[in-house]
Structure 1
Amino acid sequence: MEPDAITGLAAEAYVYGSPLVRQLSAVQACLQEGCGALAPAPFNDFAHADGPATPGTHVPFAPADLVDALAQLDLSGGPVRLHVPDTAGAYYVLQFVDAWGNAFAYLGPRATGTGEGDWLIVPPGWSGTVPDVVSGVIDAPTSVVSVVGRLACDGPEDMPRVRALQQELTLTHLGDRAHRTGLPATESGVPGELRFFEELRVWMADFPPAAPDRAYQDRFQPLGLLEEGISPYVSAGPGLVRALGRGLALGRLRVEEAARRPATAADGPPGAWQTVPHLRDHNLDHLGVGTLGSPEWRIPDREASYLVRAVAARRGRWLPHGYEAVYAHTSRDSRGHSLTGSHRYVVRLAPPPPVRAFWSLTVYDSPGGHLVANAADRYVIGDRTPGLVYGADGSLTLHLSAERPEDPGAAANWLPVPAGAFRPLMRLHLPGQAVLDGNYVLPPVERAGGGRAPRTRRGS
């Protein structure tokens, strides 16, 4: 092929394959170094956070009312049994993500309830006997799977309950062969600028995608991505190296540009909250326990889904489908001005967001996305916050400012913000249909003016 054709094909390969490389690179990091605030853990074992995020948690946009749990599964030696404790109605979710970044199963109140249970997670093509005692079977599309857990937590006083759940959340390897201790190795002699293609070549062979995707990836034969055995990139000629390098840069640019495109609220008024409830709709083939396969949750164009999948991998690893949670963020007020702690703001929720689990608002510094310490030691506010003051009509006005409001009602609904630029993030867990179809729209953040506060009544 001509160099320009190789470059174009390499760009397509990046869009197609970057989710696999990103996902498995994250798996490898979790095994060896840890992930964010979580310590490293071997295959088929959970790593648990010590608690919700605090200002000392240097992880961008970490939740202040959820406790993370994370396990990397290797099913190459056979099935794994997962024990889930009874959470007594409290929210949690376990999200299963395959090697290509597809969320293919969920456990939790929406999908399976909050009772105790055992689940058998089986590798592709498994045909063994299912034990009678399990609640169900989760068919994994790839032999390596990430289990992403989030457990609701109402603050430090709630951590004993959460720790008890962590101890009961267990994995047991049931296979008749030893599982891997690491990912398939790539060749060390590959030049650094071709490392992406080498990782894609090796991991694409070990973790094949769905059949329709395999037909699509056959077109990458001229790039050497389907070569077996010795890597074709160890002795690649300068012309091929240049063409692949240009293609890699072009593919990255395509994904970056797509990731920067405004989200769903782009055409709304100034300060409109941005949401991406359909960022995970790229999974077209493996829809297991707890997933929805209706047309509104699947991208109709398979090739278009590759770019969405690449953007999802670039924007936020392990985000859930919109029907499990919707995240909304903004950086401007209702007049289009950047949010800063030098001003006071209000968010008038009339009515509050319709959810079947809970909603919460957290504020992070900008552009870093970190929690900033405040004297009140308060970092999240939501429908589980005790002592909120509601309006007579059921509305709720949240107050965002660096200083505590003097009015007692406003102080009850106060969320401290950093002194400088900040970004609020609203999390809607199990959002109602009005959120998903756009009939409920979060109001913009308003800069507070003078005048008396509206009459309020105390609520819960």
Structure 2
Amino acid sequence: MSGQNPTPPAEPAASAADAYVYGYPLVSGLSAVDAALHKGFGTLGPAPFNHFSHAGRLASPDDHFVSVNNDTVYSVAQLDLSGGPLLLDVPDTDGAYCVLQFVDAWTNNFAYLGSRATGTAKSRWLIAPPGWPGSEPDDVTGVIDAPTSVVTLVGRNACGGPDDMPRVAAIQQDLVLTPQDGAEHRTGLPAVDPDVPDELRFFERLRVWMADFPPSAADQAYQDRFQPLGLLEEGPSPYVNAEPALVRALREGLAAGKERIENASKAAAPDQYSQAQARPGEWGMNPHLFDYNLDHLGIGTIDSTQWRIDDREASYLTRAVAARTALWGSHGYEAVSASTSTDAEGRPLTGATSYTVRFEQPPPVGSFWSMTMYDTPDQQLVDNPIGCYSIGDRTPGLVYADDGSLTICIGRERPSHPVEAANWLPAPEGGFRPMIRLYTPNDAVTDGSYRLPTIRPRAAQPG
């Protein structure tokens, strides 16, 4: 009966660990939604449902976020479709890189608009809730079918620096969400029982939010196994006065699930040097970290076996790792990031040494690429005398060699040679970890045949 304390299963702790891994993206993602509604984050202030929060500048060292993007300016909106569809007006960016990424409550990327997916011309879209019975209006470019009634919309507009912000701000001003007339929308997420003990709060959130934002039919069949844990209970929370055996099982399962995600996250970290890598200083990337969406692939996605995880249960752990390490990141065909923390000799990168990295040819991308500098272990942007935190093919004044190659100089001190100074990416005093981002990468990147050049100490330069 609903509301009664459930009976623990035969192996309750193991089942609770599975539930933690399965439900972590939902709880983590919706917790971030709640924070965006009420607190904001980084350069983005709080905004209610169905309103954009626009960043007014590129990220800087004042923004204390891990590996924060310094290439694009964000526009983020939390959408509530419980009262009906929304209209989205998208302005013309005149060919400049942009993407609008749609993420459901389970952190599945289910649609993209923008340069790669639909072009940069002005357009209007209807965003429809699950099971919407209406018909497509005549004045829209198309319909985006949402798998859940709450959606995160992440917009990124390429920005060349402070002088380029007025252009980006004009685009942001014309990016408009309009609820249909008379539609009523919620002002917050479904509330959880405040009397649930803190140690069981994760499972209470999962129980409540899982009911309000049901997954695909295949995932629902999988989550039926969590009935004995009380996760499918309706009405009053089963965790307010839960039996000690269930509390113990959930506590142990939560710890085991956390450990499983952390271990998998470390294994998936792109800059972990190991003997399995082909060479020291290899740039690691994981273009398939977001391939866990198996059920709702809409406008702008690529629905092919290349971008799907074959094993559904394995996809749950990948999804949890993505939520843990790169929440609201995009599919590899939209953008790929690569990082390293060692040089070509396998030694940790440090500001005490000067380095170069030589690109014989530009990285194969359809849009643009950049290299951004972060410190370790915090992976934050670090202030420097010239206010330069990234360098790439859009950086003004770069000097290429006669053969078309590009050599970037990395170090704490500004190089004395004018060409080297023009191509200088400042490093912090201690350890650092640069990240290369490739926007709209070519197949050579995503299939692994393209190899980024390693970073070399200046004394070890060939020739």
TM bracket (short chain): over 0.9
Find the counterpart in structure 2 of residue 400 from structure 1. Answer: 410
Q: Residues 85 and 126 of structure 2 are in contact (CA less than 8 Å); yes or no, is this contact kept in structure 1?
A: yes
TM-score norm. by structure 2 comes to 0.95
Q: CA RMSD in A?
A: 1.5
1:366 aligns with 2:376: yes
1:301 aligns with 2:301: no
* Deviation sequence 1:62-87 (CA, Å, 0-9, x none): 12221111100000000011111100
Corresponding residue to 1:338 among 320, 331, 348: 348
Corresponding residue to 1:75 among 58, 78, 81: 81
CA 1:373–1:193: 2 relative to 1, 3 Å? same
Corresponding residue to 2:24 among 18, 39, 50: 18
Corresponding residue to 2:458 among 430, 448, 451: 448
Find the counterpart in structure 1 of residue 338 from structure 2. Answer: 328
- How much has 1:419 moved relative to structure 2? 1.1
Find the counterpart in structure 2 of residue 197 from structure 1. Answer: 203
- How much has 1:268 moved relative to structure 2? 2.4
Find the counterpart in structure 1 of residue 38 from structure 2. Answer: 32
1:319 aligns with 2:333: no
1:45 aligns with 2:51: yes
Identical pairs, percent: 60
- How much has 1:130 moved relative to structure 2? 1.7
Q: Residues 8 and 229 of structure 2 are in contact (CA less than 8 Å); yes or no, is this contact kept in structure 1?
A: no
Q: Residues 67 and 374 of structure 2 are in contact (CA less than 8 Å); yes or no, is this contact kept in structure 1?
A: yes
- How much has 1:263 moved relative to structure 2? 4.8
CA 1:133–1:403: 2 relative to 1, 3 Å? same
2:77 match: secondary structure: strand
Find the counterpart in structure 1 of residue 70 from structure 2. Answer: 64
For structure 1, which segment, 381-390 or 179-188, has the greater mean C-alpha deviation from structure 2 after superposition? Answer: 381-390
Quote the Cα distance in structure 2 between the aligned partners of 1:254 and 1:447. 37
Quote the Cα distance in structure 2 between the aligned partners of 1:207 and 1:196. 16
For structure 1, which segment, 55-64 or 351-360, has the greater mean C-alpha deviation from structure 2 after superposition? Answer: 55-64
* Deviation sequence 1:408-460 (CA, Å, 0-9, x none): 11111111111111110100000011111111111111111288x99xxxxxx
CA 1:3–1:217: 2 relative to 1, 3 Å? closer
Corresponding residue to 1:100 among 101, 106, 111: 106
Quote the Cα distance in structure 1 between the aligned partners of 2:38 and 2:345. 47
Quote the Cα distance in structure 2 between the aligned partners of 1:221 and 1:2. 9
- How much has 1:60 moved relative to structure 2? 2.0
Quote the Cα distance in structure 2 between the aligned partners of 1:227 and 1:438. 46
Query: In structure 2, what residue type is equivalent to 1:170?
Result: V
Query: In structure 1, what residue type is equivalent to 2:210?
Result: M
Find the counterpart in structure 2 of residue 438 from structure 1. Answer: 448
CA 1:176–1:334: 2 relative to 1, 3 Å? same
1:386 aligns with 2:392: no
1:164 aligns with 2:170: yes
Equivalent positions of 1:118-157 (< 5 A) are 118-157=124-163
CA 1:4–1:340: 2 relative to 1, 3 Å? farther
Quote the Cα distance in structure 1 between the aligned partners of 2:10 and 2:68. 42
Query: In structure 1, what residue type is equivalent to 2:140?
Result: V
Quote the Cα distance in structure 2 between the aligned partners of 1:264 and 1:341. 21
Find the counterpart in structure 1 of residue 3 from structure 2. Answer: none
- How much has 1:368 moved relative to structure 2? 1.2
Query: In structure 2, what residue type is equivalent to 1:152?
Result: A
Quote the Cα distance in structure 1 between the aligned partners of 2:382 and 2:313. 41
- How much has 1:350 moved relative to structure 2? 1.3
Q: Residues 124 and 141 of structure 2 are in contact (CA less than 8 Å); yes or no, is this contact kept in structure 1?
A: yes
- How much has 1:43 moved relative to structure 2? 0.1
- How much has 1:89 moved relative to structure 2? 0.3
- How much has 1:395 moved relative to structure 2? 1.3
CA 1:106–1:209: 2 relative to 1, 3 Å? same
CA 1:263–1:62: 2 relative to 1, 3 Å? closer
Find the counterpart in structure 1 of residue 4 from structure 2. Answer: none
1:284 aligns with 2:290: no
2:440 match: secondary structure: strand
2:251 match: secondary structure: helix
Query: In structure 1, what residue type is equivalent to 2:52?
Result: F
Quote the Cα distance in structure 2 between the aligned partners of 1:143 and 1:175. 18
Find the counterpart in structure 2 of residue 353 from structure 1. Answer: 363
* Deviation sequence 1:92-129 (CA, Å, 0-9, x none): 11110000000000011110000011110000000113
For structure 1, which segment, 177-186 or 256-265, has the greater mean C-alpha deviation from structure 2 after superposition? Answer: 256-265
Quote the Cα distance in structure 2 between the aligned partners of 1:436 and 1:22. 27
Quote the Cα distance in structure 2 between the aligned partners of 1:404 and 1:4. 64
Find the counterpart in structure 1 of residue 281 from structure 2. Answer: 271
- How much has 1:262 moved relative to structure 2? 4.5
Find the counterpart in structure 1 of residue 437 from structure 2. Answer: 427
Q: Residues 43 and 57 of structure 2 are in contact (CA less than 8 Å); yes or no, is this contact kept in structure 1?
A: no
Quote the Cα distance in structure 1 between the aligned partners of 2:251 and 2:321. 20
* Deviation sequence 1:50-69 (CA, Å, 0-9, x none): 11011222222112221111
Corresponding residue to 1:184 among 170, 186, 190: 190
